[in-house]
Amino acid sequence: MSKVSKIKDFFDFPDLELSPEKTDEMIEKIARFFVNRGLGTPAIMSFDVFKPVSHIGSQMGLFFGSAFFPLIPGNWGFNLVALLNEKENVEKLIQRIESLTKEEDEAKKLEKEKSKSARENPQGKRSLRNLFKLNF
């Protein structure tokens, strides 16, 4: 048994390969995390800047964060490093944040229009024109 395999067995590092299902699940969770907190646009900008150096950044995260990753439940630290290791995954994350942000903006716009129409003609109150159907 080589020294490297002894060390690997001692620390028991998980593989830095993610299944497509796990990748999609993590992208969805991360995107919803940022959008639900109103940080969609800053997240898009940050990930867009990070994309060209995502491999180097993920390796630095693995080096500096590996001491803290066992404290995070469910191997999230290692899985995040594996996710950000590839530029395609970072691009998928950016696109998902953009789509969730657009959906949220459309929902807010619809709600705003609904509240505006409710203010203009509240239920139970009718104008004289509508009450008597007069045209003046």
pTM: 0.73
Say if 125 falls within a structural domain.
Answer: no
Q: Residue 81 belongs to what domain range?
A: 13-104
Say if 83 falls within a structural domain.
Answer: yes
Structurally, the chain folds into a number of domains equal to 1
Tens-digit pLDDT profile for residues 102-120? 999 999 888 888 877 766 6
Say if 110 falls within a structural domain.
Answer: no
Q: How many CA atoms lie within 13 A of 130 on its CB side?
A: 7
Tens-digit pLDDT profile for residues 40-71? 999 999 999 999 999 899 889 888 988 888 78
Say if 25 falls within a structural domain.
Answer: yes
**Can you tell me which residue has the tokens 């001692």?**
10
- CA dist 30 and 27 (Å) reads 5
Say if 118 falls within a structural domain.
Answer: no
- CA dist 92 and 54 (Å) reads 13
Q: Using 50, 70 and 90 to split pLDDT, how confident is the model at 121? A: low
Say if 7 falls within a structural domain.
Answer: no
pLDDT recorded at residue 7: 57
Say if 48 falls within a structural domain.
Answer: yes
Say if 122 falls within a structural domain.
Answer: no
Q: How many CA atoms lie within 13 A of 72 on its CB side?
A: 11
